Structure 1
Amino acid sequence: MESEGKKRETRNRIALTGAAAVATVAVTCAIAALSAHIRNRRRKVPSGSSVRINMSSSEILRLADHIIAKSKEVHDKVAAVPLDKVSYANTILPLAELEAHQFPLLQSCAFPKLVSVSEDIRKASMEAERRIDAHFSACSKREDVYRVIKAFAARGDGLSSEVKRFAQYLVQDFERNGMSLTSSKREELERLRAQIDELSMRYIRNLNDDSKFLLLRDEELLGLPTEFLKSLEKADNAKFKILLRSHQISPILELCKVGSTRKSVAMAYGKRCEVNLSVLEKLVQLRHKLARLLGYMNYADYAIDHRMANSSAKVFEFLEKISGSLTDLASKELSLLMEMKRKEGGEIQFGSEDMPYYVKRIKEQQLDLDFGLLKHYFPINLVLSGIFKICQDLFGLRFDEILDAEVWHQDVKLFSVFDLGTCELMGHFYLDLYTREGKYGHTCVVALQNGSWINNIRQIPVALLISQLQKEVDGSPGLLRFSEVVNLFHEFGHVVQHICNRARFARFSGLRLDSDFVEIPSLLLENWCYESDSLKLISGFYQDITKPIDDEMCRSLKRWRFSFSALKLKQEILYCLFDQIIHSTENVDMVGLFKHLHSKVMLGLPMLDGLNPASCFPNAAIGFEATCYSRLWSEVFAVDLFATKFRDDIFNQNTGMHFRNKVLAAGAAKDPLEILSDFLGREPSIQAFLESRAHSI
């Protein structure tokens, strides 16, 4: 075996060789970047992007009509192929090329509704999206196209796995739209879908239109900060008007020192929209009918089929296992909360409405964390440069700003992404970070152009990250709350995921991934917001950015992350189980079910009398019906990835590049369970997640 001295000598020689190689690559990249910059100065648009910026209202609508006409032309050609003559060239390739070429044009029509300062343009964008959606909905029900694709998929021989997967996805989309049914059953399916859509929107509309409020006196809101009280409207009798909206309810449940106020607020909030109970019951009945029409036992099996979880039975097993494993820790947490309330309020029974308040109190006692002070360490530009640095070191990427690019607002920035080793242009992304009127209100990533590789032509990805952060004002830098830092890192993870995707077809590229899988990479990257070495890269006191947060603050943040998390997770699992049960079982008593689950999952903690969570649970009504488990599912496997591969060396580029090449590059071209198993060397497990919570008190 080599001596330790010999090993050190070898490592030093490798390091020196590596440094020389990096220097050579740096010169090459600098020349490439200069050439690219000169080209960009001439055209002011990112190279390889088909995304159109700053179109007028009429141009948006004309482009939408062009997209529809071209799509119809291609679908008509595919439909005309004789079933005994189907081939990749006349069936799959035209549709794959159409999607790759038209996606950035479609997004050019759609994304202005999120970012434009012009109301006319936002309206045109919404109208264009409506027209395009209606056309593609009609395309998904074309029996003539379905027959041709089905004939191709049935051949199977001599096809690559990715082409087979693409064809199978096309067939699956048609069949989930009823193309394998008789015409009468197809008509019934359409009627059911229309009824489901109408009821779903009614449920949400009822919630949005609910204008009920509470009137509370000043002394009933003891503990609420002055800034919060100033934001409240006052009634004629000088009482504060509390709207039954989460942005006003959550601070009261967390901060109000008056137990009776917390109880009355929780009661009013949990009784909203009682009319929605019957709406949800009818919705669930119709969903089960739809699922049975398509050959499934129940709606949950329909919703979960072709997702990573695969079946409702597997979801139940997952939720029950997580819940059971958390019981001992949650019991300890509950005992501590009850003891604190006893010390403060005698023998008044501890209720679920007390949880947010006492969890916050105990965490404040156990952890010396001042989030107001912490904010001073996260100037926006410093956080962003730290995120770039981490992703550069971990995934071998370089981010270059295109300084004079065409954008839709002066605050928007455009960046090119290059491979750090080869200088290959990998993609582009826009950052639209700052708040302004008319802009979409949440932080998110929009895929503007998906990557693809068709007929030896590479189309590079283009992404857009939207946020509503406060800009620098009067020389004071824009500062981020820690939750905003985590959120920004999470969403930038989606940008990296989008850029690093190397799938052949646009269908498998961008963020068009299995919904149980798409959040895993971004949830994985959130871990870098809690590790000392990476925290110091993204932090610096706003008056002297050379001073990052100290080690004790880093440790406190890491402890705070999972402190008293078992009860909160139990509460999340309660809602996931409720969602899964109503969508996998017929004729459920929703009120009785929730009471039963609450007692079982929440360790006997009583639910407030008269509450009706089913009437104000929008995730079960629209968007996440039968799939509320998915966020927890993604989080569990993200923890496994971090603990197994990254925790011991968070800047190991070998591991980062392995993740980039094995997980991010694959996109949806491979089964997600296969992708994760290939990266981990085994099937993903829940064990690391449970261990991460084991010492969270």
Structure 2
Amino acid sequence: MPPSRRRGYRAGVTTSTPLSALPLPPTDEGWEEWLAQRCDGQLEQARTAVEQLKADPGADAVTVLARWNDASIALGNAFAAASLMSQVHPREAVRTRAEAAEQAAHKLSTDLSLDRALFDILAAVDADALDEGGQRVLRLTLRDFRRSGVDRDEATRERLRALAERETLVGQEFSKNIRDDVRRVHLEPEQLAGMPKDWVDAHPVGEDGRVEVTTDYPDVVPFMSFARDHTARAALRTEFLNRAWPANDGVLKELLALRAEHASLLGYDGWPDYDAEIKMIGRGAAIGEFIDEIAALAGESGRRDVAVLLARLQQDRPGDTTVAGSDAAYYAEVIRRENFDVDAQTVRTYFDFAAVRQGLLDVTGRLFGLDYRRVEDAPVWHEDVAVYDVLLDGEAIGRIHLDLHPREGKYKHAAQFDLQPGIAGRQLAEGVLVCNFPRGLMEHSDVVTLFHEFGHLVHHVLAGRHPWARFSGVATEWDFVEAPSQMLEEWAWDATVLRTFARNAAGEPIPAELVARMKAADDFGKGYLARTQMFYAAVSYRLHREQVEDTTAVVRSLQEHYDLFPYTEGTHFQAAFGHLEGYSSAYYTYMWSLVIAKDLFSAFDKDDLFADTTALRYRDRILAAGGSKDAADLVEDFLGRPYSPEAFRRWLEEAPQA
């Protein structure tokens, strides 16, 4: 290991030579070969680094940990490329090859985590010979080895290895079934009454005289909000809730059983206990307690607003006594229009996709001191992808790829994926935003989602300048990772911010008074939306805590207990609840993070969200810090005190002001 490498493992260390972006295939035909070279090559580099480490077990502490870091960087590179391409590449053959590469990366990761000789070398490292960052890396690495079962007997380790490999395969199958199952309803033209003209124009009448509407988000979201025909809304919602059913019924049961056995072999009382141990929440049982606490806190507000929905629905359908899930979004829009003077169809005329995308870059650039430069000739996997270099003080610190429209075979939700982790002096942080937005006018809810997901992307880039792979990017505890993104949503609700890019076809900026009404209207329903989130969190937690044969019965029971909208007969929400694969038992993290996000936002000047001092302190102490500290310590560094739930409680309890 060169002396400069051995002595230079400190956060923020960079070289004077500019780093280059990761080379991607220049043609559509080169992706399978590129993927094989990238993933197989990086896995081989990881093996070589480990072999060097094991060949010289008596090396000094800095050298041992540096070689482990080399292996971690290479393994992370392989994972990033494989995971991304399995979800976004337009060709099935490339996605399949990426899934195989992801399986190989998981296998190597599992093999290393169960390698007792490797663990013994790392456990023998003299922590006192390392700087503070190295000590943290060593401590977390040894913890992860023990959680993998490396100190168990050989038979147990082999069973854990088999379980981990099977969990990967089953998890991939679960996600693939969701990704590939796009359902459709065929409606009479008159059933599109209430839909925006541009949406109707994009859905022409077919040869059979009917209109096809899919379960992809650019169809579902506006249709559930604006379509007047409640039978059409109900039909589309039923199809949406039944995606990947029955294909994922057995797949999900197997995944849950594998995780339960995995946790049991390691001595935990179920998967939630195993999973929660390394999160801020700490205990599996605390997940259930948190869900019940939020449900109780949101109860009064939620029931109050559902009663408003029901009263308005009964003006149209006097015999109805409940608000169905297919009615909730529609009548929420009616209430916002009639009670708050906010017409979502008027609002959307201010949010042209291209202007919103540029506005997002302008806003976050100003906020965090970043410049984004479009790379017009960058190779991409699909023509929709827009590429930008990210610069800080004139220096390129990363590259982002925006893949924002739906297509067949693509990931169906909204998320940030890594293309490669950033490592100080070695490789640029590259991230990808994967969403499914319309190409024309956007709902304001889409704008909020775009700001949210971009929060993950800027977090990934800004935290991509650490020497340790362990600290790079969004590397904090998993129940904190949503907090920075949820906080960035606040900028999508500020009139001054929105008026910098939100303009109608005549070039007029969105009126500040309209934004004020939008904010007031958005407060309507926050209680019942929180209860729905707790229903989702309870599904995530309870399906992992209890082994059941009929998952639909559990979902139905939990919806009746937590949600303020009834179960939709004949549906199987859990089959397409993709977060069960990634978040497993920890979907509660969205609300846990929101509690912290509201507290983080309390530090900003609400009259000037671009205030440099606060924004840059937040950038440096929360985002750029990556995983270099525990999340609670990062928050305390920024706020000057431990985080508190009071800002969240005040927000949730405040009644909307019409």
What is the TM-score normalised by the length of structure 2? 0.81
| Aligned equivalent of 2:268, options 292, 296, 302 | 296
| Aligned equivalent of 2:397, options 414, 421, 427 | 427
Matched, 1:461 2:422: no
| Secondary structure, aligned partner of 1:583 | helix
Give 1:663 deviation, angstroms: 0.9
Q: Which has the larger radius of gyration?
A: 1
The question of whether the paired residues in 2 share the 8 Å contact of 1:498 and 1:509 is answered with yes
Matched, 1:415 2:374: no
| Aligned equivalent of 1:377, options 350, 368, 381 | 350
Q: Following the alignment from structure 1 to structure 2, what is the Cα–Cα distance between the partners of residues 392 and 572?
A: 32
Q: What CA deviation, in whole Å up to 9, does each residue of 1:214-241 have, x standing for no partner? A: 77767777656785598488797x7777
| Secondary structure, aligned partner of 1:427 | strand
| Aligned equivalent of 1:68, options 43, 61, 71 | 43
Residue identity opposite 1:149 in structure 2: L
Name which of structure 1's ranges 648-657 and 375-384 shifts more when overlaid on structure 2. 375-384
Give 1:657 deviation, angstroms: 1.5
Give 1:127 deviation, angstroms: 5.7
Give the 3 Å change call, closer, same or farther, for CA 214–124 of structure 1 in structure 2.
closer
Give the 3 Å change call, closer, same or farther, for CA 351–613 of structure 1 in structure 2.
farther
Give the 3 Å change call, closer, same or farther, for CA 259–90 of structure 1 in structure 2.
closer
Give 1:379 deviation, angstroms: 4.6
Q: Following the alignment from structure 2 to structure 1, what is the Cα–Cα distance between the partners of residues 567 and 90?
A: 46
Find the counterpart in structure 2 of residue 150 from structure 1: 123
**Gaps spanning 5+ residues in structure 1: where?**
1-38, 40-45, 472-477
**Gaps spanning 5+ residues in structure 2: where?**
1-15
| Aligned equivalent of 1:581, options 542, 557, 577 | 542
Find the counterpart in structure 1 of residue 286 from structure 2: 314
Q: Following the alignment from structure 2 to structure 1, what is the Cα–Cα distance between the partners of residues 236 and 407?
A: 31
Residue identity opposite 1:341 in structure 2: L
The question of whether the paired residues in 1 share the 8 Å contact of 2:110 and 2:164 is answered with no
Q: What CA deviation, in whole Å up to 9, does each residue of 1:239-286 have, x standing for no partner? A: 777777777666665445455665666567667736855654554344
Find the counterpart in structure 1 of residue 132 from structure 2: 161
| Secondary structure, aligned partner of 1:682 | coil
Find the counterpart in structure 2 of residue 447 from structure 1: 418
Find the counterpart in structure 2 of residue 647 from structure 1: 606
| Secondary structure, aligned partner of 2:388 | strand
Find the counterpart in structure 2 of residue 333 from structure 1: 305
Q: Following the alignment from structure 1 to structure 2, what is the Cα–Cα distance between the partners of residues 336 and 581?
A: 31
Q: Following the alignment from structure 2 to structure 1, what is the Cα–Cα distance between the partners of residues 174 and 41?
A: 36
Residue identity opposite 1:317 in structure 2: E
| Aligned equivalent of 2:369, options 390, 396, 409 | 396
| Secondary structure, aligned partner of 2:609 | coil
The question of whether the paired residues in 2 share the 8 Å contact of 1:52 and 1:108 is answered with no
Find the counterpart in structure 2 of residue 630 from structure 1: 589
Residue identity opposite 2:475 in structure 1: R
Find the counterpart in structure 1 of residue 626 from structure 2: 667
Matched, 1:171 2:142: yes
Q: What CA deviation, in whole Å up to 9, does each residue of 1:451-508 have, x standing for no partner? A: 334xxx575534444566677xxxxxx6554344333333333333233224341221
The question of whether the paired residues in 1 share the 8 Å contact of 2:455 and 2:484 is answered with yes
Residue identity opposite 1:428 in structure 2: G
Give the 3 Å change call, closer, same or farther, for CA 583–541 of structure 1 in structure 2.
same
| Secondary structure, aligned partner of 1:529 | helix
Give 1:602 deviation, angstroms: 3.9
Q: Following the alignment from structure 2 to structure 1, what is the Cα–Cα distance between the partners of residues 78 and 164?
A: 28
Matches within 5 A, 1:175-574: 175-194=146-165, 196-197=167-168, 200=171, 231=203, 253-257=224-228, 273=245, 280-281=252-253, 283-353=255-325, 354-380=327-353, 382-400=355-373, 412-419=386-393, 423=394, 425=395, 427-432=397-402, 440=410, 444-453=415-424, 457=425, 460-465=428-433, 480-501=442-463, 502-544=465-507, 547-574=508-535
Find the counterpart in structure 1 of residue 67 from structure 2: 94
Q: Following the alignment from structure 1 to structure 2, what is the Cα–Cα distance between the partners of residues 536 and 687?
A: 30
Give 1:446 deviation, angstroms: 3.8
| Aligned equivalent of 2:640, options 665, 681, 688 | 681
| Secondary structure, aligned partner of 1:296 | coil
Give the 3 Å change call, closer, same or farther, for CA 107–248 of structure 1 in structure 2.
closer
Q: What CA deviation, in whole Å up to 9, does each residue of 1:103-138 have, x standing for no partner? A: 558757876677778887777666655555544443
What is the TM-score normalised by the length of structure 1? 0.77
The question of whether the paired residues in 2 share the 8 Å contact of 1:52 and 1:105 is answered with no
Give 1:560 deviation, angstroms: 3.2
Give the 3 Å change call, closer, same or farther, for CA 194–427 of structure 1 in structure 2.
closer
The question of whether the paired residues in 2 share the 8 Å contact of 1:500 and 1:665 is answered with yes
The question of whether the paired residues in 2 share the 8 Å contact of 1:140 and 1:177 is answered with yes
Find the counterpart in structure 2 of residue 32 from structure 1: none
Q: Following the alignment from structure 1 to structure 2, what is the Cα–Cα distance between the partners of residues 111 and 619?
A: 16
The question of whether the paired residues in 1 share the 8 Å contact of 2:106 and 2:168 is answered with no
Give the 3 Å change call, closer, same or farther, for CA 145–652 of structure 1 in structure 2.
same
Q: Following the alignment from structure 2 to structure 1, what is the Cα–Cα distance between the partners of residues 636 and 172?
A: 39
Name which of structure 1's ranges 384-393 and 572-581 shifts more when overlaid on structure 2. 384-393
| Secondary structure, aligned partner of 2:392 | strand
Q: Following the alignment from structure 2 to structure 1, what is the Cα–Cα distance between the partners of residues 374 and 553?
A: 57
Identical aligned residues as a percent = 23
- TM-align CA RMSD: 4.1
Q: Following the alignment from structure 2 to structure 1, what is the Cα–Cα distance between the partners of residues 511 and 94?
A: 47
Q: Following the alignment from structure 1 to structure 2, what is the Cα–Cα distance between the partners of residues 637 and 568?
A: 18
Q: Following the alignment from structure 1 to structure 2, what is the Cα–Cα distance between the partners of residues 615 and 340?
A: 30
Give the 3 Å change call, closer, same or farther, for CA 689–648 of structure 1 in structure 2.
farther
Name which of structure 1's ranges 489-498 and 335-344 shifts more when overlaid on structure 2. 489-498
| Secondary structure, aligned partner of 1:670 | coil
Find the counterpart in structure 1 of residue 655 from structure 2: 695
Q: Following the alignment from structure 1 to structure 2, what is the Cα–Cα distance between the partners of residues 483 and 372?
A: 12
Give the 3 Å change call, closer, same or farther, for CA 464–71 of structure 1 in structure 2.
same
| Secondary structure, aligned partner of 1:190 | helix
The question of whether the paired residues in 1 share the 8 Å contact of 2:222 and 2:443 is answered with no
Q: Following the alignment from structure 1 to structure 2, what is the Cα–Cα distance between the partners of residues 47 and 397?
A: 17
Q: Following the alignment from structure 2 to structure 1, what is the Cα–Cα distance between the partners of residues 287 and 604?
A: 25
The question of whether the paired residues in 1 share the 8 Å contact of 2:279 and 2:478 is answered with yes
| Secondary structure, aligned partner of 1:645 | coil
Give the 3 Å change call, closer, same or farther, for CA 189–632 of structure 1 in structure 2.
same
Give 1:640 deviation, angstroms: 1.8
| Aligned equivalent of 2:559, options 598, 602, 606 | 598
Find the counterpart in structure 2 of residue 475 from structure 1: none
Give 1:527 deviation, angstroms: 0.7
Give 1:63 deviation, angstroms: 4.6
Name which of structure 1's ranges 371-380 and 650-659 shifts more when overlaid on structure 2. 371-380
Q: Following the alignment from structure 1 to structure 2, what is the Cα–Cα distance between the partners of residues 548 and 271?
A: 41
Residue identity opposite 1:580 in structure 2: Y
Residue identity opposite 2:418 in structure 1: A
| Secondary structure, aligned partner of 1:447 | strand
Q: What CA deviation, in whole Å up to 9, does each residue of 1:23-69 have, x standing for no partner? A: xxxxxxxxxxxxxxxx9xxxxxx931262233645455345443333
Q: Following the alignment from structure 1 to structure 2, what is the Cα–Cα distance between the partners of residues 197 and 123?
A: 14
Q: How many residues align?
A: 631
Q: Following the alignment from structure 2 to structure 1, what is the Cα–Cα distance between the partners of residues 442 and 186?
A: 33
The question of whether the paired residues in 2 share the 8 Å contact of 1:270 and 1:612 is answered with yes
